Amino acid sequence: MEPKQIQYNDKIYNRNVVLLREKIRDFEEHVLNGTLQVASIHDFHRVYEEANAIHTEFEALYEGSPNQVYTSELNSYFAYEREFLNDFISFLEVFNRYHEVVEAKMISNAVIQQEWEDVVSIIRFNKIEKQLKELESLLFDENEEHEVISKFIANLNKDIEPFEDLSQEKWQNMVLIKAFQKLDDKLARIDAAKNGSEYFRLKDLYATLEKKMYESVFPRMKIKISNTNFWNKERYDSDKKLLGEVCKKITEKNHQVVVHSLSHILDAWEDPAYYTEQVKEILNQPVENQIDYKGMRTKEYQAERKKDILIDMDFYEQLTPSSKIMYLRFLLQNIINKKEEKEFKGFKLVKSRIDGKVWKYPRCYQPRFEKYRAMLLQLENAYEQDKVKEAEEEPVTAQDPVKKVEIDEVVTERYAELVVNLEEIKRAMFFLEEEAKSYLDKEKIQSFPMEDREAFVLESSYHRYQELYTKRKAIEDAIKEISMRNGYVFDDSDDKYYENIRFIKENEKDPERAKDQKVFWQKKLREAHQGKKNAKVANIKAALKIMEIPEKFQKEYTQIATDPQKFLKSKKYSDDTKRKGFGNLFSIFSNFTSKKSTNKELSKIVEDSNATILKSLAMLPVNETKVYKVFATKKVKDIGKMNERRIRMQENVRKVSGYAAMFCSLIIVELNVLNTIAPLVPRAKSSVSIEKTAEFEDASRDELKGGVKVDDILTAGIQSELWVDKLILFNKQNADWKMTTQKHFIDSQMVTSSYDSSAIGGTLSKEEAPTIEESMNPDEICLHGLVSIKPDALVYTVHGDSLRDVSPQAFIGDTSVLYEITGIQYENGVWISAEGNQSDAEAMFRAYNAQGVSIAEVRLVNPTTGEYAGHFTLDNLEQMNVRGRG
Amino acid sequence: MSSIELYDILTIGGEDGDKDYTVANMVEHNHATYLYLIEVDKDENLIESNQLIVRRVLKDGEEAVEVVTDEKEKKDVARLFFELFKNEMNALENEEGETTNEN
């Protein structure tokens, strides 16, 4: 169907303008109806030239425009044609750049034909999309006649016909490309206006699409690669809902064809195999149910996933190794996500490293997290073994045989060469930029705009820089192209496939469908594995070339780095040879990493390989005399037996851990200075602002036999000018151990040196333990603290009641220390000392000063909340009343 | 190399002949995998007096373990194992506490 006729203005009407429009339309018609065929590189150049000639003519028309009014009229007149030309030329340009870089001999006619078909499909799709939009407006127009709409739909159906034969994947790709372009344009417009929430909403949508595009769509098109944005479920839901609303409105008017077409846009968001079926279901459902899909995408399911942080061992045991990995990662991720939940705000977070990245999660989950992490690490090590992979990749049906894909050495070599060239060009560009930096004369420096930044080079180097830039772009395109054609995978899309396999719901009514889905994702998974492997081989080769490793070693090193396990297990080489091989590679890759390549994919692959090589090195024995072979490994297959073993271990964990402590002759004394002091000052519990922990180890405490001399440890702690907060003690004879906290020391009157060792032998119950208030005189505690604590190691906390009793001598020489006074309360803006009024405190400090104690500054802390409440010096004591607020 | 999992029973040829050990704990440290092994009898009862800290290795391409002899390495790894056991104990105590509270 023809685009809607535009009524042009007489002012712009002249023969040339009209003829040009006719020419563009004829050209489009030839593209779409197949009269313009491109089946060779020669055809391509011909069409490219022809399109460029028309484009030049078109631009000349604009350049000759006498004023803005005329330009805007031209814009209206050529609205449809301009869009077609721009799209068409941009696609051809991308291909042309690619052809220029990769020698023509590498481009087969079949490839050229495929490229052409892609372009034609997209152009056709553009047209349909415009018509759909028009149709939408017709449908919402109450005055539009039914007959007109029906005719429109009939024509639209004709245009859609060629797409009926297209595969789902192909169709999806085109929808995505278009959705991407559309959003890109819109975003660019809004970007300029920076329209708040709409901007961010679209930006997210764009990022999501961009990622999708990168994963699944033909990267020869206009693609900006970004790995920084990730799937945003909320945005996805909200956008899906919007599209769903459109469907709903149109459905109410019973135009099924439109619903069907728009559903494909929804379709683009989804996984193809899953969604093909889902669309059918949705179309058969009542309108109100169209948005909430059954199965894995429901809100209930998501909620269930969110709270899922406990491992279901029965379920876990039934999984294949790779699914186990996914399941564990899923649990770990959920624990990490917990910190975002309201109820965990303010919780202490602990760090843990997974995949080289540090993650934080609430401390209360530490045991669980570490357990899952240990299980994960162990599984992932195993996963590196081919056996596990093969088990996962086993085809479910005979119709889906696994083909061993040989790595194409010619392509790999070509890719590696391009990567090396790219590095060289980048270095040359960097050199020219650096050269310009040393010139102060701005007139000699010229700016060179690039997509992401502006470079500055010398005028004399400008053309050279431009050449390099063009070359760089061309090589980058070629690298992308080779990556795409050979299915190189650089991301972790295989993780997604694992997840999909893991979450396929077994449909009792239709087990065949579940099976099909599993086959589909397993195929994807295999492709991703192979793609990753191919990309790894090519990049390792490139890295070795960049590092100028002689040709004869390149092949061997590539093999070792690509499959270190194979080398490790090989019986052909001695352990010593293996050690040397890994050692050399490690040194090569470390040197490469230190050069800091700008090629992210290459750097990541080399870094990952180096980490694997380190692991492999650690797998080689060091002390041959202490190496024992493992003759057999008995695994438990049934859950009951596994639980039995686990429970047995748990029952003995106290004893076992005692032995673990003995292995390192361990007496662990955890020291936390402020935590120690804080409980001594009842009203200053929350004033802890600095944590200082340290370990105190002593291997020679044989006195522990038959009882624990805690006093000795305490004394040793004091001598180290640290206060013992927590002791972990164990009895060497029976390996039993106990953890004793500061509270126990106080309760057992250790602080006053009247500790009864029998109190530690058995843990004090709450009833037995006297409270601080009952048993201790706070003045004594503070005095004790003063003499035993190294002043410059901490912010000192003193109880106001006892301050006057403390010898000022203790402060002498510590002028740099900031002291906290917590015994002074802050109420309604007036400072009152614990006993009475502010003047007590002032007098106290004047007295210290008179005795030669130079206090630089006094800090005031609200003893109830622990908040900083203000500070003063001797010079501004008078201002205390007004400076009491922190 | 087959995977070794927690609580697997390994038959290891040592100086005093073959013995069975259970994998009481596993930890990753400095790129290596360390196992905390406790000897078990035929009925899989723990023999607490024989416990080993070993590093997983491949000797001549075959699965093996190397007893950790370096003092510093041993201390570091033992400390990690101790922490793991301690955490496990704390978790058990917490669970018991939760169960008591629920009751």
Q: What is the DSSP string of A641-669?
A: HHHHHHHHHHHTHHHHHHHHHHHTT--EE
What local confidence, expressed as pLDDT, does residue B54 receive?
A: 93
Contact indicator for A214, A223 with CB cutoff of 8 Å: yes
Contact indicator for A671, A723 with CB cutoff of 8 Å: yes
Residues contacting residue A234 through CB under 8 Å, at least 6 positions apart: none
More confident residue, A526 or B65: B65
What local confidence, expressed as pLDDT, does residue A855 receive?
A: 45
**What is the least distance, in Å, from the CA of B54 to any CA of chain A?**
9
Confidence grade of residue B56 (pLDDT, cut at 50, 70, 90): very high
Q: Residue A713: how many CB atoms within 10 A of its CB? A: 21
d(CA A182, CA A846): 74
Confidence grade of residue A676 (pLDDT, cut at 50, 70, 90): very low
d(CA A724, CA A715): 9
| Longest CA span, chain A | 112
User: Is the predicted pLDDT of residue A760 greater than 60, yes or no?
Assistant: no
What local confidence, expressed as pLDDT, does residue A323 receive?
A: 63
For the segment A449-464, what is each residue's pLDDT rounded down to a tens digit?
887 778 888 888 888 8
Confidence grade of residue B100 (pLDDT, cut at 50, 70, 90): low
Are A388 and B11 an interchain contact pair (Cβ–Cβ within 8 Å)? no
More confident residue, B34 or A554: B34
User: Is the predicted pLDDT of residue B34 greater than 90, yes or no?
Assistant: yes
What local confidence, expressed as pLDDT, does residue B66 receive?
A: 92
Q: Which residues of chain B lie closer than 8 angstroms to A362, CB-CB?
A: none
Mean pLDDT of A72-96: 80
A260 closest CA partner among A276, A285, A286, A283: A283
Residue with tokens 């800290």: B53
Residues contacting residue A27 through CB under 8 Å, at least 6 positions apart: A36, A50, A51, A54
pTM of the model: 0.43
User: Is the predicted pLDDT of residue A220 greater than 50, yes or no?
Assistant: no
More confident residue, A244 or A796: A244
Are A627 and B57 an interchain contact pair (Cβ–Cβ within 8 Å)? yes
User: Across the interface, which of A374, A569, A663 has its CB nearest the CB of B58?
Assistant: A569
Q: Which residues of chain B lie closer than 8 angstroms to A635, CB-CB?
A: 5, 8
User: Across the interface, which of B1, B3, B87 has its CB nearest the CB of A378?
Assistant: B3
User: Is the predicted pLDDT of residue A536 greater than 50, yes or no?
Assistant: yes
Q: Which residues of B20-47 are buried (b: 16+ CB within 10 A; e: fewer)?
A: bbbbbbbbbeeebbbbbbbbbeeebebe
The CB-based long-range contact list for A278-281 (8 Å cut-off, 24+ gap) reads: none
Kindly give the interhelix angle for A493-502 and A321-338, rounded to the nearest 10 degrees: 100
What local confidence, expressed as pLDDT, does residue A150 receive?
A: 60
Residue with tokens 């814009």: A75
Residue A145: φ, ψ to 5°: -80, 145
- The single-letter DSSP state of residue A296 is G
Give A751: exposed, middle or buried? Use CB within 10 Å, 0-12, 13-18, 19+.
buried
Which range is most confident: A201-205, A683-687, A710-714? A201-205
Q: Which residues of chain B lie closer than 8 angstroms to A630, CB-CB?
A: 10-12, 63-65
**What is the least distance, in Å, from the CA of B96 to any CA of chain A?**
13
Decide if A377 touches B, using CB distance below 8 A: yes
Mean pLDDT of A764-790: 29
HEC sequence for A668-703:
EEEEEHHHHHHHHCHHHHHHCCCCCEEEECCCCCHH
Which range is most confident: A384-398, A523-537, A761-775, A792-806? A523-537
Q: How many CA atoms lie within 13 A of A634 on its CB side?
A: 17
Q: CA separation (Å) from A803 to A28, A797, A821, B4?
A: 92, 10, 9, 61
Which of B15, B35, B88 would you mutate first to test chain A, the one with the most A CBs within 10 A?
B88
Mean pLDDT of A570-574: 84
**What is the least distance, in Å, from the CA of A643 to any CA of chain B?**
10
User: How high is the mean pLDDT of chain A?
Assistant: 60
For the segment A284-336, what is each residue's pLDDT rounded down to a tens digit?
444 333 333 333 333 444 444 444 567 767 667 656 666 677 678 777 877 88
User: Is the predicted pLDDT of residue A530 greater than 70, yes or no?
Assistant: yes
Mean pLDDT of B27-35: 89
Give A874: exposed, middle or buried? Use CB within 10 Å, 0-12, 13-18, 19+.
middle
